[in-house]
Structure 1
Amino acid sequence: MRWSDFSKLIKLRLTFLVVFSASISFLIGSKVNGDINWFNWGKLIVGGFLVTAAANCFNEIIEKDLDKLMKRTMDRPIPSGHMTTGQALVLGLFMGMAGTYLLGSLNIDTGLLSVFSIVLYAFVYTPLKRKSPIAVFVGAIPGALPPLIGYVAAHEKIDAIALILFGIQFVWQFPHFWAIAWVLDDDYKLAGFRLLPSGKRNLTSAIVTFIFTLLLVPVSLLPTWYHFGGYYVGAVSLVFSLAFLYLAYKLLSTLEIGSAKKLMYGSFLYLPVVQLMFLFDFIGKVK
């Protein structure tokens, strides 16, 4: 098996973003406790990588026939014939069990949340993608679980900070994913995926995307509002949220694929910046 095939099977870039999000939240949770256990941080990164890779692997097994229909996915290892379904299943099961074991060794809640994330993403969200745009709402839950898992891995309980970390990533999922769905709508329709709010690139989909991007503005300010972060994270979050909102407005006013691409790229930048600022500002406050 070639590395390029394995990286496509586990959706390496997506997996990296998930692990990054969880690792930042682990550090925040660790500072609540007073110190950072770097060995456990390493276990979280490896375990989180394996669990996320397994979920993506199961997703590709289930969608192998649909991936053949789309230009962006037809070169994945299973539809291209570089890997059999059986080989992918063995890899997915191994990664899922190993990752769950590592995360569960941190505490039982972290292990249970990781199993819940795999099941919801691979076996609920994945089949829903062809049935209704509600799939995006379902998918936003496992998509927002990484920061919650990372925080619980360090702090061992779900508190207000954990819910804020989850909430920011949950709301962010919608403009992020709908921007991607807008850009790739023609390809998605080849596989029968219905992912835009109205099912089409139209004003309704753009309005819904704008509303959720607007909702992200107050949600991103929750760390400052509840005094978990200071004015630095509040200022940066506000500036980036308003810039993000402007990109959503441009999509609303133009309904063009080019505007959706800018919103998509903006989403890739927005989340890590806000999460890192929360971490740095929180560390400064607890010192």
Structure 2
Amino acid sequence: MSEESFISDFKKLIKLRLTFLVVFSASISFLIGNKQQDESINWINWLILTVGGFLVTGAANGFNEIIEKDLDKLMKRTSDRPIPSGRMTTGQALVLSLFMGIAGTLILVRLNFLTGVLSVFSILLYAFLYTPSKRKSPIAVFIGAFPGALPPLIGYFAAFDRPQISWIPIILFLIQFVWQFPHFWAIAWVLDDDYKKAGFRLLPTTQRDRVSGLMTWLSTIVLIPVSLIPTIMGFGGWIIGGVSLILGLIFCWFGFMLYRNLDIKSAQKVMFGSFFYLPVVQLVLLFDFNRIL
């Protein structure tokens, strides 16, 4: 295997774009945690979080692909991944994933013990609870929303020598938790034909029907008040409140159009809207964050 080929396969193994999104979310929350303490940014710790978070997320995605290697062969979108295509053995992927998981956890523990524990918890939840549940029941989306919402929690706590529970990390967790329902249901709608080949049951009713469309739309409605909590609680200003409201209403409109049309084109708008919504809201919150005691 050439170096170029290995790098290409490694990117697919760790789902590079997803990994970057997770690391971005954790990094923004880390910076918010720094602002909460009214301290200058510790860029060394930020780098430690970024590298450790990248490795831990890559490990979770690697374990996911190992577990689903036979199912990935059945789906067009995943058949070219390194394991099902035969370009990488399960053993090689396992060694890489174990190395990334252990190394990433040891790196994150340097920040504080809680950050390391949460990183291990996220791997276990995602790889060994969410992954096998995808073929059993639509409840898998609810299960997967927990590890999916841990990055902002991990990032925020990483900013502290001695983390303490407060409303701020809980709200950061809650926003990302609720956001995942329209995000995943839209993806499941778009890819339903491919998912069915592997037996994945991710839509609320397991079908592209009116109830699944309604549930997706309702999840975008719930996201609006949840995204306004930072402003209501006082640690987010009026700018983030306004941006969250505007984006939330647009996102909600996309959800309504999916409910009305029940087509893939509408689901794609919800899906791409979700890609845009979360990083923008998190970035604006960072710059419109008010330090509270």
RMSD across aligned positions (CA): 0.9
1:215 alignment partner in structure 2: 222
Equivalent residue for 1:68, pick from 59, 69, 73: 73
Equivalent residue for 1:25, pick from 23, 26, 29: 29
Q: Tell me how many residue pairs correspond in the alignment.
A: 285
Structure 2 residue 244 is matched with structure 1 residue 237: yes
Report deviation, 1:194.
0.3
1:56 alignment partner in structure 2: 61
1:8 alignment partner in structure 2: 12
* Distance in 1 separating the partners of 2:38 and 2:270: 38
2:104 alignment partner in structure 1: 99
Report deviation, 1:4.
1.2
Report deviation, 1:34.
1.9
Structure 2 residue 178 is matched with structure 1 residue 174: no
2:206 alignment partner in structure 1: 199
Paired letter, 2:18: L
Report deviation, 1:251.
0.1
Runs of 4+ in 1 over 2 A off after TM superposition: none
* Distance in 2 separating the partners of 1:103 and 1:206: 40
Report deviation, 1:212.
1.0
Describe the superposition over 1:200-219 as per-residue Cα deviations: whole angstroms up to 9, x where unpaired: 00000011111111000000
Structure 2 residue 285 is matched with structure 1 residue 281: no
Paired letter, 1:186: D
* Distance in 2 separating the partners of 1:160 and 1:45: 24
* Distance in 2 separating the partners of 1:89 and 1:113: 21
Report deviation, 1:131.
0.2
Report deviation, 1:157.
2.3
SS across alignment from 1:225: helix
Describe the superposition over 1:13-49 as per-residue Cα deviations: whole angstroms up to 9, x where unpaired: 0000000000000000011122221100000000000
TM-score by length of 2: 0.96
Report deviation, 1:158.
2.5
1:81 alignment partner in structure 2: 86
Report deviation, 1:117.
0.2
* Distance in 1 separating the partners of 2:141 and 2:79: 22
Describe the superposition over 1:90-131 as per-residue Cα deviations: whole angstroms up to 9, x where unpaired: 000000000000111100000000000000000000000000
Structure 2 unaligned regions, length at least 5: none
* Distance in 1 separating the partners of 2:177 and 2:127: 18
2:270 alignment partner in structure 1: 263
Paired letter, 2:55: L
- Superposition pairs of residues 138-177 of structure 1, within 5 angstroms: 138-155=143-160, 156-177=163-184
Describe the superposition over 1:38-68 as per-residue Cα deviations: whole angstroms up to 9, x where unpaired: 1000000000000000000000000000000
SS across alignment from 2:289: helix
Paired letter, 1:22: A
* Distance in 1 separating the partners of 2:247 and 2:275: 12
Describe the superposition over 1:233-275 as per-residue Cα deviations: whole angstroms up to 9, x where unpaired: 0000000000000000000000000000011000000000100
TM-score by length of 1: 0.98
Describe the superposition over 1:177-225 as per-residue Cα deviations: whole angstroms up to 9, x where unpaired: 0000000000000000000000000000011111111000000000000
SS across alignment from 1:81: coil
Report deviation, 1:3.
1.3
* Distance in 1 separating the partners of 2:205 and 2:66: 28
SS across alignment from 1:282: coil
Structure 2 residue 38 is matched with structure 1 residue 34: yes
